Structure 1
Amino acid sequence: MSTPSSGQPSTPSTSATPHASEEMDVDLLAKEYDAYTGRASENVRTLALGAVAIIWVVADQSLGGLRGGLLFSCFLVVVALALDFLQYVVAAKIYGYHLNQAEKKDLQVIPIGNARLLIKIPYHGKIYFLFAAYLLLGIVVLGRVGKPPIPPLNTPVEASPKTPANLLPSTPIESRPPPTPESLAQHGGPCQH
């Protein structure tokens, strides 16, 4: 412990956020770490679901509007959620294994080596993937400001100067009856090359 100018030893702070010169009990440090990482995981799930809602609205609430940057943003969000799930599965497996080993050997303390590193990889990965998803989503949304909405992929084709209206099908091909000899004769017969 450090000794202030009065000559009395200083006591460790009981505040939740210690200053750089303060000491912190390792058990309390682990407890605080678990609390903050648990809270961060809750926020990742909330933000990921919020990103999915934003993507759906920007995609004009149709799968046809979900393409390009929106589709990749959605992919990044799904990866972040998968990593969130993976983190808890990996942690349960690791801690379950070590708990089983400790119970078999009747130990109160068991070395776990670098097991926490395997839990930290998906933890940090989900945060990075979610950050990238929001960054890309922001770029897509800002790129659309002031522009007309992008029509979904299943939008019917309209006539343009390059495509005369009489060349566009009036009904979908699937719902048309097969051509008859009379209809072929009326339109000049089958296509000839």
Structure 2
Amino acid sequence: MQLPQIRLQSNFIRTGLQIDKPIQEIDQPHAEQSIQQPHAVLEIETVPGKLTIDQTKAREDMDLKSIGRRIEEFAQNGYQDWLKGLERRAAQGNELMKIENGGNPLATQAKENSEKPMIPFNIGWIPSHFSVKTKYEPAKVNINVKPQKPIIDAEIRKPIHEYTPGKTSIEVLEKNRLVIDFINLFPENNE
């Protein structure tokens, strides 16, 4: 006996993909940079040192005096001698006025007026100690510095970006199908 049958035969769809990959290009150009460093402004001011040597006293000790100094000393000595002479004459005049008091004022005065006074002498240093005077003012240095800031110039460059998008194309290589077949659906009467 033959049984009725239904036969199904199916095929799935077959697709094909064609893929074009995306292309991306990035180029980064270098930045242009310029740096300048100006020199610092430097000012130096120097006041020179000053050495003063005064040897006037040493020269006077060695009797090497200036004309002005000699005239000044002679005038002072002359004035002092005049005052001493005036004092001596006044004192001697008073002694002579009082001759009645006794003594021998004429002989005493003659002896005083005729003798020169004793000049004391001792060992001395010529020129005298510390007679040369020195004075020193040290030099002064004034330094003034003005720093200068650097001059920086930078030009930034944007990146170069190129992009080609990818694409995908789909195609059907084989369509889907379903085949239905009936067998022994209507039995034959062979009896």
More strand by percentage: 2
Choose between structure 1 and 2: higher helix proportion. Answer: 1
TM, length-normalised to structure 1? 0.26
TM-score relative to the length of structure 2: 0.26
Q: Quick check: which has more Rg, 1 or 2?
A: 2
Higher relative contact order (CA 8 A, sep 6+): 2
